[in-house]
């Protein structure tokens, strides 16, 4: 599974509409409204690089109101669940 973090700058009056449209795209796991440099952050989870290109370039980038996007590909995930599993010896 590949994960991309997509930071989106949106036309101000369209943040809610764009957020809903992006969230409805297959391959988009989550969309967050944020403060800071990005108006929205979308988490894309797909199984191939071709799918990342299709979801981001062919779909997200073409949603009306998207002014700019910056994509980051994740190499590793560090989460509480991962750490808990690493130290689990199966005794409950």
In tens, the pLDDT along 18-52 reads 999 999 999 999 999 999 999 999 999 999 999 99
Instruction: State how far the Cα of 64 lies from the Cα of 40, in Å rounded to an integer.
Output: 14
Query: Is 52 inside any structural domain?
Result: yes
Confidence class for position 64, pLDDT limits 50, 70, 90: very high
Instruction: State how far the Cα of 24 lies from the Cα of 39, in Å rounded to an integer.
Output: 17
Query: Is 92 inside any structural domain?
Result: no
Give the total number of structural domains in the chain: 1
Confidence class for position 77, pLDDT limits 50, 70, 90: confident
CA distances for 82 relative to 42, 76, 86, 88, 89, angstroms: 22, 11, 6, 10, 13
Query: Is 40 inside any structural domain?
Result: yes
Q: Is 57 helix (H, G, I), strand (E, B) or coil?
A: helix
pLDDT at 80: 74
Give the CATH number, domain containing residue 19. 3.30.70.920
Range of the domain at 41: 1-86
Provide mean pLDDT across the span 79-83: 68
Provide mean pLDDT across the span 48-61: 97
Query: Is 91 inside any structural domain?
Result: no
Query: Is 59 inside any structural domain?
Result: yes
Q: Is 21 helix (H, G, I), strand (E, B) or coil?
A: helix
């Amino acid at each position: 599974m590949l994960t991309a973090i997509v930071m989106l700058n949106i036309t101000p009056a369209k943040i809610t509409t764009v957020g809903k449209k992006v969230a409805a795209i297959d391959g988009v796991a989550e969309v967050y409204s944020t403060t800071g440099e990005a108006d929205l952050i979308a988490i894309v989870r797909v199984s191939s690089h071709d799918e990342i290109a299709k979801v981001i370039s062919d779909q997200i980038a073409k949603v009306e109101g998207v002014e700019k996007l910056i994509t980051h590909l994740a190499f590793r995930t560090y989460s509480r669940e991962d750490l808990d599993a690493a130290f689990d010896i199966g005794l409950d």
